[in-house]
Amino acid sequence: MTDPLTIYKLMILFMLKQVPFALTNTQMLNFFLDKEYTNYFTFQTALNELESSGLISCQSTHRTTRYELTESGNETLSFLLIS
């Protein structure tokens, strides 16, 4: 059985790949909460692990943090989608 955290990480990577701009933490979190996929803490854990592993990057400006896919994240997602 696949760890739910792994699925949430893949969902975040796929979400970031689908848009041509960086997404805020709030935008992504609202999607996960509105669909009742997971809770705040699990989402933040997945997001932080993706950032720590270099698959996504974040930039903070004023009071907003925006996330985007890194080249490593794009390669990882492409590999997993092809397999």
pLDDT along the chain (83 residues), means of 10: 88 96 96 96 98 97 93 93 68
Question: What pLDDT shows up at residue 41?
Answer: 98
List the structure tokens of 46.
């997945």
Whole-number pLDDT of residue 5:
94
Q: Enter the CATH code of domain 4-77.
A: 1.10.10.10
C-alpha closest to that of 33 among 41, 45, 21: 41
